Amino acid sequence: MTEKNSLLKKLRKIAKIISWAIITVLVIIIMFLLFIVLSTKISQKMGKQPYFSLYTIISPSMTPNLNVYDVVFVSKTNTKKLKKGDIISFYVKNSRLGDTPVTHRIIDIQTLGTGENSFQTKGDYNLEPDEWRYPVTESDVVGKVLFKIPSLGRLQFFLTSKKGWFMVVLVPALGIIAFDLFKLIKLLILRGKLLEEDKKNIENNINNSNLNINNSNDQTNYNSNVNETHNLFNNLNNSSENDKEVNDEANYDD
């Protein structure tokens, strides 16, 4: 029984560590995403490019290096330092893509007459370079791709769906409420047991106290009886002595 209890304690401790680790990771991810979103919105209001951006890949043009639903972390960079082979995110002028940035690899860099660089790009999966109506210039570049988070976009699309909100928000909320109710019921049961034990202890103390009182009374009665017996014996002795003295005096008179 002791080994079983010890094993259960270890399992509970391990489960607690794992749950706290998961919560910590989720909190870090949430804080990171909030920082990115707030930073992007502030930069957009100020009319500047954000220092950091997250984009979900929605086409297979960069496979196998960037797959559909991968999320790329894009950092604002000095466009003069960009080189061939770098993967960049950029906007395309007068394109059907609108405000959706494109993430492709630089295959060539040319300097325009204005001194600004223009970038020839290509998707890794595409056979031909990109043929945009207007060249991609430094002002079109959002930033350089630093790393990717595989398949994170699946979670993003799932969360934006009704089913995703139901699974991620409502179900955990109900789980937390159910867990709190379970703990409350458990505490109430424990409280009832403690009150019952306290009641029994009080009754036992009262019974012990009554027993001590009865024992004390019995001892008092016993001592009283002994004293009465002694007094009666003494009275008998005194009476015998008095009778003897009376007899002695009568004999002397004779």
Both 8 and 95 in one domain: the answer is no
- The number of residues in the chain equals 254
- CA-to-CA distance for 66 and 123, rounded, in angstroms? 10
Both 142 and 86 in one domain: the answer is yes
pLDDT at 190: 78
Residue pair 97/130 in contact by the 8 Å Cβ criterion: no
- CA-to-CA distance for 128 and 27, rounded, in angstroms? 43
Cβ count within 10 A of residue 217: 10
Q: Considering the domain boundaries, does residue 43 fall inside one? A: yes
Both 62 and 136 in one domain: the answer is yes
Is the pTM value of this prediction over 0.95?
no
- What the block records as the tokens of 157 is 């699309």
Detail the DSSP E strand segments found in 49-189: 52-56, 71-75, 87-90, 102-111, 117-122, 136-137, 141-149
pLDDT at 46: 75
pLDDT at 228: 57
Measure Cα distances from 39 to 35, 44, 51, 81, 250 in Å: 6, 9, 7, 24, 134
> Strand pairing partners for 144?
75, 88
- Calculate what percentage of the chain has a pLDDT beyond 70: 70
Q: Considering the domain boundaries, does residue 250 fall inside one? A: no
Region of 190 please: left (phi>0), alpha (psi -120 to 50) or beta.
Answer: alpha
Both 139 and 197 in one domain: the answer is no
Both 143 and 228 in one domain: the answer is no
Both 66 and 154 in one domain: the answer is yes
- Mean pLDDT across the stretch 155-166? 73
Q: Considering the domain boundaries, does residue 254 fall inside one? A: no
- CA-to-CA distance for 80 and 241, rounded, in angstroms? 139
The domain spanning residue 95 has which CATH number? 2.10.109.10
Both 147 and 191 in one domain: the answer is no
CA nearest 123: which of 211, 64, 200, 82?
64
Residue partners of 61: CB distance under 8 A and separation at least 6:
104, 123, 124, 125, 126
- Residue 66: its H or E element: none
- Mean pLDDT across the stretch 47-67? 86
Domain that holds residue 30: 1-48
224-251 pLDDT, tens per residue? 554 555 555 555 555 555 555 544 544 4
162-220 pLDDT, tens per residue? 777 677 667 767 777 877 788 788 778 877 777 777 777 777 777 666 555 555 555 55
Q: What residue type is assigned to position 131 of the chain?
A: E
Total domains in the chain come to 3
- What the block records as the tokens of 29 is 């991810």
